[in-house]
Structure 1
Amino acid sequence: MAPNRTPRSSPPTWTTTCRGTTASTTQPWALGALLHIDELRGTNHAGRFLQPDGLWQQWAKGRFDAAVLKKRIDELSSYVDKGPDLA
């Protein structure tokens, strides 16, 4: 008898609305997270994607604002850093 396996679910996605477009994808959030990490570490790894006419502009086509995505990651990180309110 074969083992009872639970089907694998796909990775969670985040739905975001930016400039009137709703997208359910993880890619925009990844850039926001990279910008967040760059700020924490004093690096600029996201910079190569954000060059004028670079990969981000070609892919996002004005649908997403990298600064807004970074702000969302900053907010989530701040919330997590605070920990649960057990009082």
Structure 2
Amino acid sequence: MSSKLTYNGKQYTLDEEATLLENLEKQAVSVEFHCRDGHCGACRSQLVSGDVSYTTFPMAYLKDGEVLLCCSKSKKDITIKSLS
């Protein structure tokens, strides 16, 4: 059974080898981003449930419960939503 990525209430198949941003782009979901490497924080989103691991150390400021889509991956079901 494949893992699922839920973003803003819609469910997508999760490619565990791709970042969360890449997963959403593959599904033609428009997400705000800029640097793609954890520096700017444009892709900050709220982590509703699940866990992430970072491919690079996130330099952008994150509040508790926030993740950067550009440099994070998940190996199991995850639910996130945009901050806007």
Q: Give yes or no for TM over 0.5.
A: no
Select the structure that is richer in strand.
Answer: 2
Structure 2-normalised TM-score? 0.24
The structure that is helix-richer by fraction is 1
Query: Which of 1 and 2 has greater Rg?
Result: 1
TM-score with structure 1 length normalisation?
0.24
Q: Which has the higher contact order (CA 8 A, sep 6+)?
A: 2
